[in-house]
Amino acid sequence: QNDPEKKRNRMFEPRRAFLSIALAGVTNLGLAYASPPGFKRVRTQFIAALGDPNASSGTEASNWGIWPLDPGPRGVWLSDYNSLVKQPEAPSGWKFDINDWWLEEHGLIMEQPQFPLAPGRYLVTGGRLVTTALTVDASGGWKLDNGTLYDVTHLPCRAARYSPNEGNGSPATARRSDFPVTPGAEMPKVQGCDKQDYAVLFVIGLEDKAEL
C-alpha cells in the first residue's frame, strides 16, 4: 500500500501524460517535415539553450547542453532533498552537485545536461508551429533555418541552473510554494543562490551523415 516506487510513479503520471500529448502534437505538426533530407528521426532529446528569444542565430551554443533522456522523471523532488544530502546520487544514478544544480518547472531537482552541445545539425521544435533545422558550429555559433529561438522553445518545460553565492543557498532554501511554474514564465529565485534560466528545445532528429 505504501510502496514508495508506486507513489513516485503516480506523482509522475501527469508529467508523463503531458509530455506524451506534447510529443504526439510534435509528430502531428511535423508530419510534412517528418523526414527532411539529411536527418534521421530519434527518440526525443532536450537542449538547454541560452540566447535572445527573438533571434534566429547567435554565438552562445558553447554554453548549451543536452539531456539525451527526459530529466524530469529521473529527478528528485525538493521535498526529498535530504536524501541527496545523505548520499549525493539520485535513484536513477546521476550525481548531485551542490555547487551546480538544476530545477524544472514542477520543483524537481534534475541532473545536469551534458555540456557542451556537440557541433552538428539538429531537427528541433517547441511542440507548437515551427519545426526546423538547428546548425551548431565548433565555435559556438548557432543558426535556425526558420523561426526564432522562442518559436522552438517548449514553453511548459522550464529549467534553471543554480549555484550558491555568499548566502550559501541550496535546494533546502527553495520555496516549494513557487511550483509549478507557469508555462513561459521565469523559474523562481532561490534564496542564497544565483540563477540562470534556460530555454528547452525538443530534438526530434539528428543529422544523418549516411545521406551526406
pLDDT in tens, 82-133: 999 999 999 999 999 999 999 999 999 999 999 999 999 999 999 999 999 9
Helix (H) or strand (E) holding 1: none
Which residue has cell 524537481? Answer: 108
Give the closest residue to 104 by CA, choosing from 19, 6, 3, 209. 19
Three-class DSSP labels, 148-211: CCCCCCCCCCCEEEEEECCCCCCHHHCCHHHCCCCCCCCCCCCCCEEEEEEEEEEEEEEECHHH
**Predicted local distance difference test score (pLDDT) of residue 122:** 98
Which SS3 state, helix, strand or coil, does residue 127 take?
A: coil
**Is residue 8's pLDDT more than 80?**
no
Task: Report d(CA 212, CA 41) in Å as an integer.
Answer: 16
pTM of the model: 0.85
Q: Considering only residues 27 and 203, tell me which one the structure prediction assigns the higher pLDDT.
A: 203
**Predicted local distance difference test score (pLDDT) of residue 37:** 86
pLDDT tens readout for residues 25-37: 454 444 444 568 8
Do the beta carbons of residue 193 and residue 37 sit within 8 Å?
A: no
Which three cell numbers mark 113?
Answer: 545536461
Mean pLDDT of the chain: 88
**Is residue 23's pLDDT more than 70?**
no
Task: Report d(CA 7, CA 199) in Å as an integer.
Answer: 30
